[in-house]
Amino acid sequence: MPNHRIDLKRLARHAMIDRGLWPDFSAKAMAELAQIRAAAVDHGADAQDLRDLLWVSIDNDDSLDLDQITVATEHPDHSVTLLVAIADVDALVPKDSAIDTHARHNTTSVYTSGDIFPMLPEPLSHDLTSLREHQDRLAVVVDLAIAANGKVSGASHYRALVRNHAKLAYNSVAAWLTGTGPAPDSISDVPGLDAQLRLQDRVAQQLKARRHQQGALSLETIEPRAVFDGDTLTGITVEQKNRAKELIEDCMIAANQATASYLKRKGIPSFRRILRSPERWQRIVDVAASCGEPLPPQPDAQALDAFLVKRRAADPIRFPDLSLAIVKLIGRGEYVLDEGTGGAPEHFGLAVKGYTHSTAPNRRYPDLVTQRLLKAALAGAPLPYRTDELKYLADYCTEKEDDAERVERQMRKSAAALLLQPRIGERFEAIVTGLSEKGTWVRLLEPPVEGKLSGGVMGLDVGDRLTVELVSTNVERGFIDFSRIAS
């Protein structure tokens, strides 16, 4: 049997190097790592001991880099206190250390079909700086007061010692929440966890409903994942949104916005994550018109979300294809510096102002930067970054995030090329996902893989549907080429 994992890992390493990313940690970083023998648990007088609260994590089945845990308490007026504890990575990874230098260079973990290239060494991100089950860990807590209508009425931040009482997985929790599967063993084994998770789910749904009232977009994009039998690639499956993923996503959005607001109130320069108003709004209008739905001539998030909700109900099977087209037309998110004065920059897709990334410091460098700024603010200490340094890092993190996504996309294509090699000459239904000077890109509806259209591109635009024929594959370069079949 072929060892596709080794082949894909080798290709991933080359792809990272080509994009200026470091696949390996330096000898100096590994020497630093060897000196770190235990998790940081000396919380001192300025941190609370919250280990007895019913903290829980929900993540992917195989995730070990657990960045956040949550717990909620309901009050007699049906308001809720939601606590989000974020792993205190900075406690073991100081600024300008060799390990920090590697993290700052790559700015993110890179997830490929061949291997995962973590931003931090796995003995840290998978263990000592991970909020592992049944382990005491230092954390930075976002304390949110949430009214019964989903409005965040107040927030505070503090350091704490916490303990994850149950490590749960998205798919099994989602099946249980929606009544399509049994309760995971951990839910049955931990007293009170059933009610705790249902409370968190209710709060997350209230938070989501309020954001959508303000124009947050109901998007549902496809996330392809390679499937292996041992080391042999056997297929590509699609990871879809579910109730448990939404629970975590909506709680993290609230925590991120609260952190941005706190730093803003303190007048501290910090990162913001924004998605600008779409420049290709007219093409979005055209896509909606092709579905028989009008949109206003100027960008309007609430009108766009209403259209998306209607299309999901009308055609749920093909809705992810429409979502992908809209995502491409809206454009990419980016990091910008908010210097702590003036109006807050907006995130068009989330319908929130003053939004940052703070809840994944094991996986994303901007979150680690935000954590250091937040800890300095809480301690009344000098800021660890100069304003010009933050401005450079915001631009650099956007650039390297793009590089990492290109590597991940290239490796998805390499995996897809391996899978499609025996199917050259077959025809597939596809959707146009991108147009550039370099060519026209399409994604097959099944299997969900993307490639370049080498002929018949005249008159096509993002979102168009067509029939294509597989012409060739190049696993080494991650190339998949299609030609258009006349309808």
Strand pairing partners for 160? 48, 139
pLDDT over 90 at 26, yes or no:
yes
- pLDDT tens, 107-128? 999 999 889 999 999 999 999 9
Asked whether the predicted pLDDT for residue 399 surpasses 80, the reply is yes
| β partners of residue 225 | 237
Residue 382 pLDDT more than 60? yes
**What is the model's pLDDT at position 347?**
59
Distance between CA atoms of residues 275 and 357, nearest Å = 13
Range of 44-53, 219-228, 244-253, 306-315 with top mean pLDDT: 244-253
Nearest to 329 by CA among 296, 299, 351: 299
> Please, how many CA atoms are within 13 Å of residue 474, restricted to the half-sphere of its CB?
9
Residues 6+ apart with CB under 8 A from 368: 89, 90, 93, 100, 103, 361
Query: Does residue 286 belong to any structural domain of this protein?
Result: no
Residues 162 and 271 in one domain: yes
User: Chain-wide mean pLDDT for the chain?
Assistant: 90
Listed ranges 68-77, 232-241, 446-455, 469-478; the one with the highest mean pLDDT: 68-77
d(CA 194, CA 86): 22
Between CA 295 and CA 410 the distance in angstroms is: 34
Residues 402 and 467 in one domain: no
pLDDT in tens, 126-147: 999 999 999 999 999 999 999 9
Q: Is 368 part of a structural domain of the chain?
A: yes
Identify which of 415, 400, 479 has the alpha carbon closest to the alpha carbon of residue 9. 415
**Predicted confidence (pLDDT) at residue 380 exceeds the cutoff of 60:** yes
Last residue of a domain, one of 394, 414, 434: 414
Per-residue confidence (pLDDT) for residue 42, from 0 to 100: 77
Residues 6+ apart with CB under 8 A from 382: 376
Contact by Cβ (8 Å): 211, 350? yes
Q: What's the rounded Cα separation, in Å, for the pair 447 and 437? A: 26
What pairs with residue 467 in β-bridges?
429, 485
Q: Residues of the chain with pLDDT > 90: what percent?
A: 61
CB 422 within 8 A of CB 470: no
Residues 483 and 341 in one domain: no
pTM of the model: 0.87
Last residue of a domain, one of 382, 414, 446: 414
Residue 79 sits in the same domain as residue 193: yes
Q: Can you give the residue range of the structural domain that contains 430?
A: 424-487
| Most confident option among 100-104, 114-118, 256-260 | 100-104
Same domain, 456 and 404: no
Q: Where is the domain boundary, 414, 438, 473?
A: 414
Domains: count for the chain: 2
Q: Judge whether residue 353 has pLDDT over 70.
A: no
- What is the per-residue pLDDT for 19? 96
Minimal CA–CA distance to 11: which of 101, 115, 87? 115
Classify 466 as helix, strand or coil: strand
Looking at the fold, whether 72 and 214 belong to one and the same domain comes out as: yes
**What per-residue confidence (pLDDT) applies to 384?**
97
- Higher per-residue pLDDT: 338 or 99: 99
